[in-house]
Structure 1
Amino acid sequence: MTDATRNARRRFLHTTGTLALAAGLMPLAPRKALASLPDGRSLASLPDARKLTFDHTHTGEHISLVYAVGDRFVPDALTSLNGFLRDHYSGAVGVIDPQLFEVLFRVRRELATDKPFQVISGYRSPDTNSRLRTSRGGGVAKHSLHMDGKAIDIRVPGVALSDVRDAAKSLQAGGVGFYQGEQFVHLDTGRVRYW
């Protein structure tokens, strides 16, 4: 084995060990530790790190984090995203389908932008959904996937709404609704359909 091969193997084992340690410690890590590994490196510096950034139009909150590395989701990041995407009417926190973040990441890549997603609606409690159905003239589905944590309504500043819609449709990864008048695109991880 050459010195170069040994060094490459050593770096690989160190990175793999660090990732394993980070994955094991993530549920115990404080919220501010989401962005770094025990050795001080940023999660974003790892190969295959997937990051999302959001601004919430109703709460005024902002979040930017690595939610997955390779084929593993970062548990603490998912918990933070669940809280961020809570029902902004009632404060109820649901469990967001991690595959929804994968769809959003792919949409962002299709659009070739690093702009944050502006969130109009994430999780919606059954009570909120029922109230919105009766107050919005039928624009809210009775069995909305928002209640299952499988839907989000978004837009991207500086990107045409139709481009967001088209990028999402090109993935064929779930439902895509286009709401030009309300200025958002609905994305979900349900069956592939468009409206």
Structure 2
Amino acid sequence: MTIDSSTGMTRRALLGAFAATTLTAAPTFAKAAGFLRGGGDIRRIRMYSGRTGERIDMIYWVEGKYIKESVKEINHFMRDWRTDGVTSMDLRTIDIMSAAHNLLDVNEPYMLLSGYRSPQTNAMLRSRSRAVAKNSLHMKGQAADLRLSARSVGQIARAAQACKGGGVGKYSRSNFVHMDCGVVRTWGR
């Protein structure tokens, strides 16, 4: 951890202060694709896990560059909580999640239901549900299942679809949206 001796602040605290002053202009739906191509100066992700009790709220990209320490923390946060397995999450998925969150104009963090899944966890979940894909993008670190209490499944899905960055699945009965950086496609109700 680097501390600026003149201010006594860590790099993360400085970035957070910078972010607090620049996050007021969230992109509109029309600007979502531009945001994913680097149209914004910063990118932030906010999530919590009901399984582990952990929370994350951080700037992970500033002026065209990913922040290595932040990405490492995101990877750990999105780990397979059943096996404690960690992988490098595909940053395109994180970007889609961040852009969709901005479009939804909420302060509430996402509830992360599932990020990375080990092959063992995916096989176990698949044995319990036909809705779990055999070659799930979760096993490649390319997908996340998310929920917001302040927005409906339909609203979250529309925001993710506006990003045109990958797959978006609506799971209304279970109250979550799947986002991935695979082929652009939609499914569910």
Q: TM-score, normalised by structure 1?
A: 0.77
Q: Which residue of 2 aligns with 1:102?
A: 95
- Structure 1 residue aligned with 2:49, among 44, 50, 56? 56
1:18 aligned residue? none
Superposition deviation, residue 118 in structure 1: 0.7
Check the 8 A contact 2:123/2:134 in 1, yes or no. yes
> Is the 8 Å Cα contact of residues 166 and 184 (structure 2) preserved in structure 1?
yes
Verify the 8 A CA contact 1:57 1:119 in the aligned structure 2: yes
Alpha-carbon separation, structure 2, partners of 1:100 and 1:167: 14
What stretches of structure 2 of length at least 5 have no aligned partner? Answer: 4-8, 23-40
| 2:154 maps to which of 162, 178, 184 | 162
Residue 145 of structure 1 corresponds to: 137
Question: What whole-Å deviation, never above 9, does each CA across 1:145-173 have from its counterpart, x for those lacking one?
Answer: 00111000001121111100111112211
Provide the rounded CA distance (Å) in 2 between the counterparts of 1:169 and 1:49.
21
Higher relative contact order by CA 8 Å / sep ≥ 6: 1 or 2?
2
Q: Specify whether residues 173 and 130 from structure 1 end up closer, same or farther in structure 2 by C-alpha distance, changes over 3 A only.
A: same
Distance in 2 of aligned mates of 1:120 and 1:67: 21
Q: In the superposition, relative to structure 1, how do residues 93 and 33 fare at CA in structure 2: closer, same or farther (>3 Å)? A: farther
After superposition, what is the alpha-carbon deviation per residue over 1:111-155, rounded to whole angstroms, capped at 9, x for unaligned?
11221011000000011111111122x111011000111000001
Aligned to 2:19: 44
CA contact (8 A) 1:43 1:49 kept: no
1:113 aligns with 2:106: yes
SS of the residue aligned with 2:144? strand
Q: Is the 8 A contact 1:176 1:186 kept in 2?
A: yes
Query: Where does structure 1 lack aligned partners over 5 or more consecutive residues?
Result: 1-27
8 Å CA contact 1:178–1:186 kept in 2: the answer is yes
Deviation at 1:190, TM superposition (A): 0.2
Instruction: Determine if contact 2:113/2:145 at 8 Å carries over to the other structure.
Output: yes
Distance 1:33 1:143, change over 3 A: farther
Query: Secondary structure at the residue paired with 1:58?
Result: coil
The structure with the largest alpha-carbon Rg is: 1
2:6 equivalent in structure 1: none
Q: Secondary structure at the match of 2:75?
A: helix
Q: CA deviation at 1:49?
A: 2.3
Equivalent residue, structure 1, for 2:179: 187
Q: Is the 8 A contact 2:43 2:60 kept in 1?
A: yes
CA distance in 1 between counterparts of 2:164 and 2:94 reads 15
In structure 2, relative to structure 1, the CA distance for the partners of 1:43 and 1:98 (3 Å cut) is farther
Contact in 1 for aligned 2:48/2:55 (Cα 8 Å): yes
Higher helix share: 1
